[in-house]
Amino acid sequence: MVDVQALVGDTSDNVPGVPGIGVKTASQLITEYGDLETLLARAEEIKQPKRREALIGFAEQARLSKRLVQLDHGVDTGSALATHRLPAIDPQRLIGFLKAMEFTTITKRVGEAFSVDPATIEADAKLKSAKAPAWTGATGEAMPAGSGGSAVSAEPQQQPSLPDIAPAIAGDGSPATRVTQGSAAANAVPIDPKAYETVTDLKRLDAWVKEARALGRVAVAAQMSVADPMRAEIVGMALATAPGKAAYIPLAHKSGDGDLLGGGLIKEQVAFRGAFAEERLGGIFADESILKIGHDVKPLLVLLARHGVALAPIDDTMLFAYALDGENSFKMLAEKWLGYTPIDFKDIAGSGRAALTIDRVPLDRATEFSAEDADVALRLWLTLKPRLVAERMVNLYETLERPLVPVLARME
């Protein structure tokens, strides 16, 4: 096997091998000649000219490749084998650790293996101390500060008015207090899709852009002509600057129902070039001082990049939820934390053969559906962001989850 590998090489491990010789040919040669050295010594006997020349010309490279792929069994480890023996396992300590980490199934298996009842062993208190107290969701029902374990009920908080949202998040309270304040801020204003604005001129768009710049953050959502961001056109963009304050900017909505007489762009919308000008969406999307918030941001990054628009920095509530609880469904998160069920696309577009694409949905209904996406994303951000701190998940999100999004988008 080593001789075959020496001939074939391995580009992933920088093993050169012999050019032009694959696994099948290498196997045939080693079977016929016995080993690599015999093959190289008798290379002149090979009938195929290219194969013969390759083996003669790259003989030393083949020998080097063999040294690279061959395991060295004589390495001095500096210690006796006995010192690497696994020590006896303390089932009490192991089960205490597993219960603190909430590995329920493994805890049960360890208990069975050591004939120990896990119920008689407490979770390791030092490990459980990192847990945050319970917080309240949109319904006021206490929820656990993790995926399991005991919960401590929190007193209901008076919901702040809209101007109080920023202080609630930026205050000097403990991480657990900020979790409660964030949830209250997210639910301070009822979700009302009828209240969203349809932006059909640059003057109103400029006002929204100005507000986003002043706040230093804005929630963003996009409507695409097809589900695949690698092929889609941008039909419209939605922005949200505060809970309940959101707008939809139609860019490529069409008239008619898709028949031969319809299909032209409607007049009541903003031109794409004007909307994405540097002083408007193109500017705030690329502005490093303005945080862009969304749910499942990667498709949006791909979509905008195809149209020459940058989007950074970002916060992704889908990744918040994944890091915290392992769940990331937009609908499920909205129902759990906001007590609200988002509009289903079928409710505005219909279903079956009569279903409309988003670019043919009436603007008022498209606004309700699209702006709601941005509004809910912003509310989830207010709710879940403080939990990253309270549950010590900031490092996971900041160093692994979030940086990976633009990398994957560029790969796509």
Residues 42 and 100 in one domain: no
364: confidence class by pLDDT, cuts 50, 70, 90? very high
User: Residue 152 pLDDT more than 60?
Assistant: no
Query: How far apart are the C-alpha atoms of 30 and 25, rounded to whole Å?
Result: 9
pLDDT in tens, 2-34: 999 899 988 778 889 999 898 899 999 999 999
386 part of a folded domain: yes
User: Residue 213 pLDDT more than 50?
Assistant: yes
Identify the bridge partners of residue 239 per DSSP, sorted by sequence position: 220, 247
pLDDT at 356: 92
167 part of a folded domain: no
301 part of a folded domain: yes
User: Residue 264 pLDDT more than 70?
Assistant: yes
Residues 57 and 97 in one domain: no
Long-range contacts of the stretch 273-278 (C-beta < 8 A, 24+) = 274/202, 275/202, 275/205, 275/237, 275/249, 275/251, 276/307, 276/309
Residues 205 and 64 in one domain: no
pLDDT at 321: 94
pLDDT at 263: 59
pLDDT at 164: 42
Q: Which two tokens stand for residue 15?
A: 């093993």
pLDDT at 274: 92
pLDDT in tens, 292-305: 999 999 999 999 99
User: Residue 339 pLDDT more than 70?
Assistant: yes
Residues 60 and 118 in one domain: no
Mean pLDDT of the chain: 85
82 part of a folded domain: no
151 part of a folded domain: no
Residues 101 and 213 in one domain: no
Residues 249 and 218 in one domain: yes
What residues contact 37, with CB distance under 8 A and at least 6 apart? none
Find, among 227, 229, 253, the residue nearest to 367 by Cα: 253
Q: Which domain holds residue 253?
A: 185-411
13 part of a folded domain: yes
pLDDT at 257: 58
pLDDT at 128: 65
Specify the pTM.
Answer: 0.60
Residues 60 and 100 in one domain: no
Query: How far apart are the C-alpha atoms of 378 and 217, rounded to whole Å?
Result: 10
Q: What ranges in 49-130 are assigned the alpha helix state H? A: 49-57, 59-69, 91-100, 104-113, 125-128
Q: What is the mean pLDDT of residues 233-253?
A: 96
Residues 348 and 218 in one domain: yes
**DSSP symbol at 251:** S
Are residues 369 and 356 in contact, defined by beta-carbon separation less than 8 angstroms? no
CATH number where 60 lies: 1.10.150.20
Share of the chain above pLDDT 90, in %: 63
| CA separation, residue 250 to residues 31, 80, 283 (Å) | 69, 72, 18
pLDDT at 70: 87
Tally of domains in the chain: 3
Residues 208 and 274 in one domain: yes
Residues 358 and 257 in one domain: yes
162 part of a folded domain: no
80, exposed or middle or buried, with CB in 10 Å at 0-12, 13-18, 19+? Answer: exposed
CATH number where 268 lies: 3.30.420.10
User: Residue 87 pLDDT more than 90?
Assistant: no
pLDDT at 173: 65
Q: Give SS3 for 220.
A: strand
248: confidence class by pLDDT, cuts 50, 70, 90? very high
Q: What is the mean pLDDT of residues 163-185?
A: 68
pLDDT in tens, 104-114: 889 999 999 99
Residues 116 and 193 in one domain: no
User: Residue 139 pLDDT more than 60?
Assistant: no
77 part of a folded domain: no
Residues 206 and 107 in one domain: no
